[in-house]
Amino acid sequence: MKITNARVIVTCPGRNFVTLKIETDEGLHGIGDATLNGREKAVVAYLEDHVIPVLIGKEANRIEDIWQYLYRGAYWRRGPVTMSAIAAVDTALWDIKGKAANMPVYELLGGASREGVLVYGHANGADIEETTDAVGRYIELGYKAIRAQSGVPGVKGAYGVGRGDLYYEPADGTLPTETLWNTSAYLNFAPQLFDRLRRDHGNEVELLHDVHHRLTPIEAGRLGKSLEPYRLFWMEDCTPAENQEAFKLVRQHTVTPLAVGEIFNSIHDCRELIQNQLIDYIRTTVVHAGGITHLRQIAALASLYQVRTGSHGATDLSPACMGAALHFDLWVPNFGIQEYMRHTPETDEVFPHSYSFKDGYLHPGTSPGIGVDIDETLAAKYPYDPKQLPVARLEDGTMWNW
Q: Which positions lie near ligand EZ4, rule CB under 6 A?
A: 37, 170, 210, 212, 262, 312, 314, 316, 339, 389
Q: Does residue 339 belong to the site contacting Co ion (CB under 5 A)?
A: no
| Catalytic annotation present for 167 | no
Which residues 180-219 are close enough to bind Co ion by CB under 5 A?
210
Residues 6+ apart with CB under 8 A from 125: 131, 132, 133, 134, 150, 151, 161, 165
Contact 112, 13 (CB under 8 A): no
Q: Report in angstroms the alpha-carbon separations of 17 from 33, 311, 343.
A: 8, 19, 12
CA 124 remoteness from chain centre: 18
Is residue 103 within 8 Å of residue 189, measured between CB atoms? no
**8 Å CB contact between 321 and 339:** no
Q: If DSSP codes are grouped into helix, strand and coil, which group holds residue 125?
A: strand
- Spell out, one character per residue from 234 to 273, where the chain touches Co ion: x when CB under 5 A holds, - when not: ----------------------------x-----------
Rounded least distance, CB 32 to ligand EZ4, Å: 18
Closest approach, Cβ 270 to ligand EZ4, in A, equals: 16
The values of phi and psi at residue 371, to 5°, are: 75, 20
Cβ-based nearer residue to ligand EZ4, 112 or 314: 314
Residue 39 exposure: Cα atoms within 13 Å on the Cβ side: 11
Q: How far is the CB of 297 from ligand EZ4 (least distance, A)?
A: 22
212 catalytic residue (yes or no): yes
Q: Name the binder of 37 from Co ion, ligand EZ4, none, CB < 5-8 A by kind.
A: ligand EZ4
**Active-site position among 29, 122, 209, 212:** 212
Q: Which is nearer to Co ion, 240 or 365 (CB)?
A: 240
- The residue (of 281 and 355) whose beta carbon lies closer to Co ion is 281
Q: Which of 159, 281, 355, 361 is catalytic?
A: 159
The C-alpha atoms of residue 214 and residue 217 are separated, in whole angstroms, by 10
Query: Least distance in Å: CB of 315 to ligand EZ4?
Result: 7
Instruction: Report which residue type is found at 268.
Output: H
Residues carrying an active site annotation: 159, 212
Per CB under 5 A, residues contacting Co ion are 210, 262
